[in-house]
Structures are given as C-alpha cells and as structure tokens.
Structure 1
Amino acid sequence: MAEAGTPDIRFLLLGRLRAYRGTEEIDLGSPQQRSVVAALLLAHSRSVSMSDLVDALWERPPSSPASVVRTYIWRLRQVLEPDHDRSRPWQVLRSVTGGYELRVDDGQVDWRVFQQRLSQARAARAGGDPAAARLLYDECLSLWHESPLAGVPGPLADSERSVMQSQRLDAMEARLEALVAEGRYAEAATDAAALVEQHPLREALHQLLMQALYRGGRQAEALAVYRKAHRLLDEELGVRPGPGLQALQAEILQARRPATTDAGIVQRKAPVPRQIPHAIADFTGRAQEVERIRDALADHSTEAMPIVLVSGMGGAGKTSLVMHSVQPVLTSYPDGQLYADLRGADGTPADPGAVLASFLRAFGEADAFIPQDLDERSALLRTLLAQRRALIVLDNAADMGQVLPLLPGSPSCAVIITSRNSLATLPVSLRLQLGALPPEEALRLFTRLVGAARVAAEPHVARQVLTACGGLPLAVRIIGSRLAARPDWSMAQLAERLSDEQHRLTELSVDAIAVASSFALGYAQLDEPERRAFRLLALPAQSGFSTATAATLLTELEDTVRPMLERLVNAGLLESPAWDRYRYHDLVLLFAQRLATDTDAPEERHAALGRLLDLHLFTASGAYHLLRPGHTVPRTAAPSPLGGPRFKDEDAVLAWVSSTLNDILRLLLQTAGTHTDRAATLLLMLDAVLMNAHRWHEVVPVATVVAEAAASRGDARAEGRARYMLAGALTQVSRLDEARVQTQRALELAELAGDEDVHGMTLNVHGIIVGYADPAGAVGHHLQAASIARRRGNTSLEALALGNMVQTKLRMGVVDDETATASQRQLRLHHDNGDRYGEAFGLYRHGQVLLAQGKPYDAIEAHLRTLSLLDEGEQDFVQAGAHIRLSETYLHVGDTELALQHAEQGLALSRKVRHDHLASLALSALGDVLAATNRKEQARLHWQRALDDLRRLGYDAAADRVATRLTDSAAVE
C-alpha cells in the first residue's frame, strides 16, 4: 500500500520507465525529465542533492543546470499530484535540505519488488527449500520486460542499467542452481544451454550446464562442455577455466576412474605431507604484513579459497616473511602442507606438470595413476583436496601460467604465493607488495645481527650504514652478517666505503650471497631491448619517470616502451608507485648505472641525456608561452624532434611543475658540464613557472653550477642566461648584494653574445635590485628594458618592465603622469596578451597607484580583482602582496576589521612561499592595524620584527619608514 496521503502510483523501471495511477499511465515527460524520476527512484526514498541530480542527467551540464532541474521538478509535481492543495506541502516529490526525495513504498516500484523477491528466494535456498526458492525466482524474473530504464538517458541510468542487468543474470543463475538442487536436470540443462549461448564467457553458466548434464547421467556431454569452455576462454581471454569448472571436471573424471585395488590387498593409509620449510630465527619487523597474512589464511568465512600473494623485488624478504607468517597457522591445515620452489627468478622456472606430479606423489598417488595431461593432473589434485584442509606455498612463482594449474579448488584449502611478478590477474584475497623496510625496522634487524652494544656505541654511523642499504632486507642482512663475523671491524670505515656509490654493491656481499647477484637474476631474464631500457633509464638523476620520459630516452614509441616497463616491474627491477610512474630502488639504480657504464658507449649515454634535456626544454618553453603570452624568449628554445606534452591551461602547467621540477633541477646539475648550452636554456625556460611555484631557494645552487660550467667552457650566451636566472633567484630570496653582482655580469655577457631578450630581461631585474638604493637609476633601467622589449615585439617583457618602473616610483613617492600612463599601459598589455597572471600582477601595482592618487575605493576594487583572477595556490606571492595592500587601503578608509584580516592573510601566504620581504611588509601592516585599534604594545612588537627583517634583508628605505613609526609611537607615550 502507498503511504497515507500519498497517491497510489506504480513505477516500472524493468523495461521502459513508466508510471501508472491505477490503470492510467502518467506522462512523465521528456527523456531528461524521466532521468530525474529514475535518479529519485533509485535512491530508495532517500534524498538526492541538486549536484547529484545534475551528475545523473549530464556528462556535460548546460550553463544553468540547477534551473533546468527545478523546471523538471515543477513539471513532475504537476503530473504526479494534479489535485495538489497548494496550501499543503507536496506529498510525492518533496523538497528536503539540499535536494529532493520521491516518497513511494517499495511495493510501488517493480525494481524494489524484484530485489525483495530475490532476497526471499536466496533465504529459501539457504534454508534448504530449492522448490520454494525456484518459485520465488520465477516470480521476480517475471517482472522483467526489456532492458531496464529503456529510453532514459544520462550517466546514472547508463551505470545503473548494467547493475540491474547483472542482478537479473545472477537471479537466472540462481534459478538454475535451484532447478539442479530439485533434481530437474533436463529442464536445467535446456535453460542453461540457452543462457550459455547468450553469455559465452560467464563461467558459472558453463558450470551449471555441466552439473545438470552430469547429474542427469550425461557425463560425456558434460566433459564436452568443459572442453568447449576451456577453448573459448583461452581464445577470447587467454586464461584457463576457474577453480570451480576445473574441480567439477576433476570430479567427473574421478568418477569414471576404474578401481585400482585388488581384492585382499590391505590399503595403506594415505600420507600427510609436511613440506613447509622452517622460519629463520632472527626474522624482524613486518608486523602488519605478518598479521594480515595470518588473518587471511585463517579466514574461511566465505566460499572462496584464501589466496595470498606476496610480491616485490629481489632481496625484499618475501620468502622469509611467508615462512615466518605461516608457522602458527599450520595446525589449521592438518590434511597436508605442500611447498614448491617454482624458480621463477633464476631463468629456469619449474614445470607446473612436474610440480603437480610431486604434489600427487606426496599424497600417495602412484605414478601409474598420475595423468600425463596437465589439466587432468590439476583436476586430480583438486579432487584429492576437495574435502581436505591443506596449505600450499608456491615460492618464487614466474607467471600466471605456472601458478594456475597448481591451485586447489576447495575453500577449505589455502595458498600463499611469492613472486617478483605482480601476477596482476590472479584473483587473491590478500595482495602484499613488499618494499624497503622502514628505517626503525631496518635498525632492529641490524641490531639483532651485530649486537645492541655495537649499535649503541655508534648510532649515527649505524644509520648511515642502513641508509646505504636502502632498507632492503637482503642488504641489511649481508652487511650485518659481515660485521657480526668481524667484531674488530670499524663500523665507521664500512660506512665510509658504503657511501661511495661506485663500490657500494661490491661491499654488499658475503660468502656466495650478494645483492647484485639477486638483481642479476632478474636482469638475465630480460631480452636485449629490455636490458637496454633498464640501463639507459637509470642514467638521469631523477626520482622517477613516466612512459613518455622513457620513450624519449630510448627513442621508442610509448606503445613499445610501456610493455617493456611493465616487464621490468614484473622482474622486480622497477617499482611502479602510481599509474604511469616508475622508479628504481636506490641499490637497483646503482646496479643499472654500473651496467650502463660497462655496456653502453659514452656517446649513447651522452645522447640519451641530451634527448631528455630536449624533452624538458620543449615542454618548459610551451609552459613559458602559456604563462607569459607575448614573450619572445621561448622562440630561442630549439624544438625537440621528439615533441612532448602540450598544455591546455595553467592547471596543467602547475601539475607538470609539481611532478617534474625536482627532477629537472637534478638533471641540470648532472648535465651542466656536458650539455651546457641546453642546460642554461632549459634553466631560462623555467623562469615563468618558477614565478608561480616560487621555489627560488632551490634554484640558487643549480644556477650557480650551470653558470660556472658555462664560464669554464667560455660560452657567453649560456653563462649570461644562467647568471640572469641566478640573479633573479637571489633577488627573490632577498640576497640583493649577491644578485647585483650577478646582473652586472649577466648584462655584459648578454650584450657580448647578442642575446637581446635576455639583455632586456636582465636590465629589468637589475632595476629591481638597485631600486632600493638608487631608485632614479632603477627607473632608467626599467625604461631601457621596456624600449628593448618594444623593439623586439616582446609585449610581455615590456609590461613587466613598465610595472617594475611603476613599483619603483611608488617607493619614491612619485605618482606623476608618467607613472599613471605606464601603469595603464602595463595593465593593457597584459590584458591584450591574455596573460591572466600578468594582469593580476599589473592590477596589484595599479591599485597602489590609485591609492596614491587619492582613489582608495578604486584601489580596493583593483586589489580584489587581483585576487579574483587567481585561484588558490596560484601566484601565492602576488596574492600575499594584494592582501597586504588591501590591509593598507582598508586601514586608510577606516575599516580596521578588514584591514586586520587581510594583513594576517598576507603574512600567512608570505611565509608559505618563504618570501621574507613580503612577510616583513605584512608584519608592518599588522603593526599599523594594531596601533589603529589601540593595541600599541602588540603593534610595537610587530613593527620591531618587521624592522629587524628589513634591516637584515637590506631594504633600508622601508626599514626607515618602520623605524619612524616606532619612534613616533614611543614619543606619543
């Protein structure tokens, strides 16, 4: 029955979406309007928010989706409650906080009736009444007419439609199971055969057809079904039948086996194998992994057999972890404990047929009755273990083809597998990827090996040793064993030898065990293109890389490189911490670099690094062009013949900077002496992105190395570019005296090399630097830079130079016609270029001009527009400056509350980007607001901190202004 006061309306979702009031169909309107009904009905009388309704209706919403949805809601209410009394709330389609709900009983929606009947049928089947279950399945399936939600568009309908169809197929399978349980084999076989034709890749249907045929006495036909399913799955998916199908085949084969005992011969009791090796005595760490493995092996709450996979690189301690973990649970598997080393890491993987034969013999099966066919051996093992509680450990598995035949089918059994290969398609109940040991666990293992007293005597040295081991358990164990066997050795001397990367792998060996040997096993399994990839990808100094980067280094297509990288991951020679991201373990990296030095010609290694520089150069110049449209300097970057990523917007640039800048800076340090010109140009192309990322502290040492390398090679152009970037970085971190020396040298070099763009850019930065001591001279430098930019057609540089000239005149307290004109022009140039960041910076300066002209409210509007142009995290130092100027301007008009808020935000952002000069200005602004609100002691504290910082940074004029405030404040009291 419908809820009291709610019209008796029925909704049909299992076919074309319809609604009925009695026998009369209700017109639900357009397809999109029907999508609203579907979304509300599928929520099961729960409220649906406006945003969820929009997502349900459109992949790409219209410009005002909420208003469209409200229109649909209004129309639906008219047809669902045509006699509605407007003085009362709507009863069917109700408004709730943030959205809407469609209030109908479960019995009024055929989809909910289907789910109720399905639940009742399952309960009847679980209660041992297959006949009642089958009748309920028939009833719920009779509700279906055609594809559910037919004629309903939208993302939600598309996704829910597949869910509903899947549940229908589940119900049809369950009905077949009930038919078999009733003993109605012929009917079940007929219906199952029809469904197999419609869904040929659904293994459960093949299994039901086999069961119906087998139980009905048609064993040959049942086995034919298995062969057909096996062939189909292999051809279409490249996989073998699952455990259920294989176990049923084994059962049928076993039932057909002739008796093997002679009358009068007493059968021996079948042996119970106990093959699991012992655990090592000093196993340390991995407590969470141990607990998870033991929990998984002890969990038999589902119908699925527990399968645990432990994967990871060579030396990660996979086997030790498994042997330690399984010991306490062995008693839970009293009917057999099998172990096989599948030798997947040494290039001679064990034959699964031979392993199966050894398992069958362990259970007492005579050789005469062990089948020759692999599938039949596998089926026989599943039959033997069908009613037993057995544990199988498969160590060092090579691949899926080796593992699948060895899996039992009974949920009473369990399997644990170790492999360097991730075995990605293996259906497991627990998957563990072992990496390096955490530092504290590595220290505990090391301490157990060498003794607590020795570690306590040199704790810092011990940590240096462990850092060199990279947390790899095999490395820790080797170095710990060497020290333990030589109590007179100095740990400090060993740490010093390990710090030398060229000798580290040599030191990590003891007796016949070596870390490098473990890596060499994986390397030996690779083909030659994969070996080349392994070596060359280790050349750049980078934390990780993408497929695109690898393709550039190897001069291959990405589609060719991607399977190579996955093969290296599967061999335990690469790690893949995220989608399309790869990296080496530190020790594997040293192994690969040593191989590259020994194997690849210097010319090839040099060329590979050059290709990577070209890729980053191409990408960075594209980012420069997007962030500073109108700037001509990107034209000086030679295009990469390999191409590279192109950016659609600033967000894409920022994402690239976030993921790549660290690696680019490392690469510049690595290649400064060998690819000097390209390294200097790449450094220059980072100018625009660094103004956003504001990581100038990291640029200073890199630019220094590139500049010195260029100087040693006599490359004036490269040195000038590097010194320009060094000067800019030093300016941004408030090291003005050093920056001035660099700009003076950069100006000489740019003029010598005829590098006009860089000459103008350096003049602009030089003006910023000298502006605090010689503002009049600074104005001249900026105007000269603007003149060069106009001649070059470099509208971006012209706008920047004019803006800095305006900033200098503001510090001088001169806001004349020249200042106002320049401010307007720099703003117009940025706007015409479509330079959002430049326009924001231009507005920041123009707002200060407006305040100086006595137009505070226009100034406030300009600074608010600055903030509106920038999203959170964009140009934080510009946003910090805008907040500080807003604080000053709001204080000017007497709004101390807003002045305080913006000063605090300016200080927070300044500290976030480590911009000491801005932070000191924010402190000064805070002091001004506090003084205006009669909190004079706090004001003086802030002014004093600002004064100390400004003096330290060399901003004497600004410092003098703050000192005057302190003096005046003291005089008033």
Structure 2
Amino acid sequence: MAEGRAGDGLRAARIKAGLTQEEVSRRAGISVRTLRHIERGQVRNPRRDALERVARVVGYDLAARGRRSAGGPGACPADPCEIRLLGPLTVVCAGLPVAMPLKLRALLGLLAVQPDQVVGHEEIADVLWPGDAPSGYARLVHTYAARLRRIFDQGAGGQGGGGRRIGTVRGGYVFNSSGARLDLHQFEQRVARALQIVESDPLEALELYGQALRSRQGRVLQDVPQLWHHPAVVRVAQRHIDVTIDFADLALRLKLPACAVEHLTTAAHEEPLHESLQARMMLALAGTGRRAAALQLFADLRTRLRKELGVEPSDEVWHARQAILSSDAFKTPPQPTGATSFSPAPAPARYGLGPQSPYPAGNFGAGEHPSPPPARAAPLRDVASPAQLPPMATPFVGRRQQLDALDALLTGRRVDYTPVKIGVLHGPREVGKTALAVHWAHRRHGEFPDGQLYADLRGSTDRPVPVGTVLSRFLRSIGVSADWLPDSSEEASALLRSLVAGRRFLILLDDVADADQVRALLPGTPGNLVLATSRTLLMDLVTREGATPIAVGVLSAAESHALIQACLGTERTTTEPEAAAELVAACGRFPMALRAAAARLAADPHLPVRAVVEELARTGPQPCGPPCPPSGTHPSGAPESPGEDRRAVRGEG
C-alpha cells in the first residue's frame, strides 16, 4: 500500500526539516520505535492517522504521494532507482535518497561495481566481515539481499523490480544492470561515444569526455572504505585516470589547456606519483600562462619520487619539462575554464588518442604563434651533465674541521621546506680555500648527479668577471643554445633557476668579491648547493640568504709538516728535521707557500732544505697565484668573443 511505502519520503522530509526521531515522535504522539519502523518500511499496514500526524510534523504531502503511487488523476509513474558509485554510494528512488546501513551499502556497492557478473558468497563474506565471517553468514547475506530487493521493489512501484535487479544464482548473487540508471554505465557510454567521434568532431568529443568526468563526485564508493582496495573498484578508479589522460591529450591538441587543467587538477592531486597525469598537468599549466607553476610542479614531483620511491622522473616527465622550456607560447592569455565555452580552434590533422605524442611541438595556448625560423637552433640541446670542477691539488692534508662543516651542509638538503644550502669558505689569500673547496667537491660529487658547475669570478682582481658572463656559460653548459640566451641578466638568472629546479647541482664560485656576485647565481629550490670562496666573510650573504660561513686559516704545525713530508718523502724530511721545521715557520704555515718551497726542493734532489730556508729568510715567501690575465682575455686565458655574452650581459661587459 502507499502508506506502507511512505517511509522514505517521511524520513527525507524529517531530515530536511532538521528534526530528530525523538522530536517527531513526541509531537506526533507515537513511540520512537514505531517511527523508526515506519521510516524503514517495516510496518505493513501503518495506521493512517499516525502517518498523517507524522506528515504534518515534518511537512510532507502524504496525499500527493498517495495519488502518485496509486496512479490516480494527476499521477505520474514512479522514477526508476538511480545508483551512483562515482563518489559516495547514493541510491535515489522516486526522486528521494534511500538511507541504508553500512552492511547493505557494502553489499550493493560490491554487486553494482561488477554489474551482470556473479559475485560469490565467499567474496561477499570477505567484504562484509573482513578476517572472520560468522558461521551463518550465508543466511545473513540472504537477508541483506532481500532488503535490497525490497528497496528496489518500492522504487519500482511494487512491481517486483527488486527481484529482477538483485538476482540469486548458483553460488552467489548478481546485479542486473538492464534498464538501471547506473552512473558507471553513463560514464562508459559517454566515453565510448567520444571515441567514436573524436576524429570527425573533436570538440563534441571533448564535451562528452568532460560530461563523463564531471559525473564523478569523489572517490569511487567514497563512503564504503572496505571496498576501496577491491580489484573491481581499483579498475574503475584506473579507468577514470585513463579517461582523464585521454581528455587532457585532446584538450592540448585543440589548444584548450584550461579545459585540461579543470579535470587534471583533481586527478593529479589524488595521484601525486602518477607521472603521466603530472606530465600533462605541467603542460596544461604552462599552456594557460602559468609556466612557473608548471616547473614547480616538476620540482615537487621529482622530490616526491626520490623521497618515496628512490627513482628519477620518467622520460615522459622530462620530455614535458623540455617542451615547456622550449616553447615561446607561454604569453598566451588563459582560456576560459567552462566546458561549454569552448571557442572553435583549427582542427589538427589527427586527434587520435593512440600512440601519438601528447606534447605539442611548441604551442600549448589557444592562439597561433609563428614558429621560430627553421635555421634557428633548438632552445635546448641534449648535453652530458656538466663536470667542471678543476683537478684536485695533491697531496692534500688536514682541514678535518672544515670538511666536517662542509659535510653538514648536505644534511636536510632534500627536504622541501629547507632553503638552498650555501657555504662560504673565507680566509686570507693563498690559505688554500680553493684547494679545500675543490677537494671536498670531488669527494662528494656523487651527491650531485645532475652536474657540477664552476666559475672563477676573480673578485680579488681589478677585472672581476661579470655575472652575466657566468650566467651565459652556465646556461650553455646545461644545454641552452646560444641563440636562445636571455637578453638580460635578470632573465638569465630566472632561467637558470628554472633549469636546475628539482635537480641536484653543485655550483662552485671561486674568488667571490661580494654577495651580489653570488646572489644572481643562486638556485631557487632545495637539493642544489652553492659553495663560494672569498677573502671576506660575505656577511650580507650570511645575513640575507642564510649562508654558512666556514673560516679557513693557515695549517697547524703538524699539518704543515705532513704536507712537506708528503711532497718530499719521509727520508728527506727526517734527514734535516730542524730545517724542515724552520721551513714550515718561514712559510708561515701557508699551504701555497709550503707547496712552492717543496716544489723547488723536489725539482733538485741535491738541494738542502737548509738552503731554501735561508733563501726564504732573505726574500720571504713568493706569491703563488697566477698573474692577472691581459686585457681582452677571459680568466681562462681564451680571447673574448665580441658577441659571446651579448644576450646575457647586455650593457655589463
């Protein structure tokens, strides 16, 4: 009877009115137990006056419900039940949501996510009672199935639809999807239609993809956690990811990147390690003018992959990053995000979603931009990881305290929130700062697999190297073609930060004059390390950028003697021990002076150590640094090319 099927409507009206069962039962003059049974449909012939009192309290039109159910004047056929799995499990019958306990929801979700397939008793038991099912679980499952049939019977107007929807077969149960309003079926139908017309009408296919993806309201069976790891649910979730990738590929080919961002954002957030999703998200962000966000996404992904899996990003992700850096289409205005506001775009030759590369050749935005001249070199070249460290000075002794301080810079370097690590080796000239920096860098080169960059800034001379010159050299070293070098040092510095983001580079800057020389060469993301040598403390760099100062002084007497002995051999130093000690004192324990004196003695095996000591007493230690290069040459000694740094140092040469 209509009265017996009014429970769902009364319950929905009570919840909408914000009333509890206790409040309604008190106002209607019935017990809470009776109201609960009425709402659950467990009262076959409820008293009409009791139903009317409850309906008045909750504001439910019981008479109109009766006319619709009986098929009287003005009646309309009851809507079939709708089942939604792409999000919280929702069952809507006759336009009203149906409340079900967790066990019923789990059983329905398990059956509906595998429509028209037999689900065995044991599989059902594993879901409803993980670990240990009760001995009489088959009877309980039968009871739950009967309750589900009753729900669908009510939704079908009492015409026996529940028996057809939940079928009993040998060994289990089956959900009959024939005629069912199942969002999973609607999703697949739209996707299938999109695949059929993707070549003939790509914009309509894109709209169908968008409709399919928008039908998802959250995680599959979001409120039934015991089903999250079931193979059928995992397959549905993976299917959604695959369709999202197909949608993004088509949107990028149609030059509608904002449409791709709309659906990629959620999927990429839910699957932070899915590299195909993240690669397309990078391209879509870049296409909407958010190039910095795209490169930051790459840096974050690389950090996560290294931290959680110990691997580098796949070639797909690297290709997406290179496509972003290679394109000059990032000035394109952002596209509208609404799926129905697509503006027509020239159709590409093919929109297939098969093996074609999803990466556009050089334009991710909506507008067409002229391609670079054919003769112009590609923006990025494939180059080997730079390894520019000078050779180590040998022999090397001592400096244990400074080496430990440098090792400490590596601690926490890969944590996302830590700043870029900067070390400053400072001390007087010829004290061995460069030898120490190079020695440590060679020892730790494995910590920087992406490369080691080196520049002698010649800050202590009257012709320091312009920062723009160093920037252009670094950019060329990591693959930027000369024709694509930026026009200003600011742009070159920004490009350098972008190229090293998410990677692990060591940048060794030798003979720095001031903090400004270093600041323009600093990376912007953790993982990289900058090591500078200077005759001054570079206090501004310590204060503003948090650099770690490491003082370098002369060697100790023992270290100085060990250096002399390593250069000359034990026999020669033990033959003249007093002269060797005086030689250390005459050189002031400066390692460069000690090396120069030891080199003279090594060149003449018959020259007494005492003779060199007496000569040093007369003349003093000689400076060992290289002379300043003549005008018109680089610090490396190579002649300057007039146009070498025309882009990076315009006005700074």
TM-score (norm 1): 0.26
Greater relative contact order (Cα 8 A, min sep 6): structure 1 or 2? 2
TM-score (norm 2): 0.38
